[in-house]
Amino acid sequence: MSVSEFLYTVVCRPAPIRWVVNRLILTFLPKSVRIGRADILLNPHDPVVSGALAMGVYEKEEISLFSRTIQPGMTVVDVGANLGAYSSVALDRLQGQGQLLAIEPAKENFLWLQRNLKQNRGLALKTKIHAVRAALSNKAGVAVLHKNPANKGDNRLYPDGLLAGTEKVKTTTLDALCRQKGIRSIDVLKIDVQGFEGRVLAGAHKILQASPRCRLFCEFWAEGMRKAGVGTQTFFRSLDQLGFRICQLAGNRITPVDPETITRATQGRKYLNIYAYRQEKIPVRKRSK
C-alpha cells in the first residue's frame, strides 16, 4: 500500500476527516510537477493521484525503474494511463524516437492525458503518439465504467460500494489496437486497471508473443481481480504462458517472487506493483558519485 493510499484509506477513513484532508490537498495543489524533463499537469479536482504526485510520493520507485528501462526508439504502451504521468515520463525518455500508445477510458482522465501529451510534445517531436479513449479487455464491445469521485485512479469496470456515478465506454483488446495502430511489438508495457489486468492480458497474447523482450509493469491486487471476475490464477497462467518472470519491486530492490507470496500479500485493499520481464536483464540503478 502506497503512502497516499494509507493516508486516504486508513488515516482518513472517516468521511468528515477525508473531506477536510481532500479540501486541503486541493487548496495547495500546484498546477504541475516535474519528473525528469516531463512537466505533468495536475487535475485540480483529484486529491489522490494528483495530490500524491504533488507530494512526491506517487509510485516513486516504479516510475524510476520505468524511466530507466525506456531507451530511445522503443515502443511503450501505457494501459490505464490516467492523467498521463507514466506517458509523460515515456516521452521524455524516448527522446524523439519510437512510439507511445496511451489508453484511458474515463472521459475526465482522458482530457488530462491529452493535455499532458500536448504539454510534453516538445520533448518528442518525432515520436509517434497514439492516445486512445477505451477500456482494454479480452473482447470488443461496450462496458459501464464505475467511477470513484474522490480518487480518479480508482475507476473500475465493475460495481463497488466506494464508487458513485457511471459512464459508458468502449472496450477493445490490445491485440486489436496494436494491429490498428501498426504496432508489431512492445518493449515496455504498463498496466494499471484496478483488477482488470487478467482480462487485458487475455486480449494481448498475440502482440506479447511477438514481443520477446517486453518488460511489464503491472499493479497486482488480488481482491480487485476477484471482484472483476478474473481470478489470480488466470492472471498468473497468462504470464507463465507468455514466458514472463515475475519480480516484486520494494524500495530499490527487485527480487523474483512466486504467485502464492504475492497473493497472500495483497488481501483486502492491499496491492503491490510487479515487474516482469522476458529475456532481458533488469536495469540497474546507477550509483551517484
What pLDDT digit, counting tens, does each position of 204-226 carry?
999 999 999 999 999 999 999 99
pTM of this prediction?
Answer: 0.90
What was the pLDDT predicted at 92? 97
Section 221-245 average pLDDT: 92
CA distance 21 to 43: 16
Report the candidate in 192, 200, 208 with the shortest Cα–Cα distance to residue 84. Answer: 192
Please report whether residue 1 resides in a domain: no
Q: How many domains does the chain have?
A: 1
Average pLDDT over residues 49-78: 94
Q: What is the pLDDT of residues 88-132, one digit of tens each?
A: 999 999 999 999 999 999 999 999 999 999 999 999 889 999 999
**Is 17 contained in some domain?**
no
11 vs 277 pLDDT, higher one: 277
Q: How far apart are CA 256 and CA 118, in angstroms?
A: 37
Q: For residue 67, what is the enclosing H or E element? A: helix 60-69
- pLDDT at site 57: 87
Q: What is the rounded CA–CA span in Å between residue 283 and residue 281?
A: 6
Is residue 205 in some structural domain? yes
CATH of the domain at 77: 3.40.50.150
- Domain residues for the domain of 150 are 58-277
Residues 6+ apart with CB under 8 A from 259: 232, 236, 246
SS percent in the chain: helix, strand, coil, step 5: 35, 20, 40
DSSP 157-193: SS--TT---EEEEEEE-HHHHHHHHT----SEEEE--
Cβ burial of 276 (10 Å; 0-12, 13-18, 19+) is: middle
Q: Which of 39-48, 52-61, 168-177, 202-211 has the lowest mean pLDDT?
A: 52-61
Residue 205 Rama label (left phi>0; alpha psi -120 to 50; beta): alpha
Question: Does residue 69 lie in a domain region?
Answer: yes
Task: Please check the confidence at residue 70 and state whether its pLDDT lies above 90.
Answer: yes
As given in the structure block, the three cell numbers for residue 208 are: 506479447
Residue 171 belongs to some domain of the structure: yes
The pairing of beta strand 38-41 with beta strand 75-79: unpaired
Q: What percent of the chain has pLDDT over 70?
A: 89
Looking at residue 3, its pLDDT comes to: 53
248 within a domain of the structure (yes/no): yes
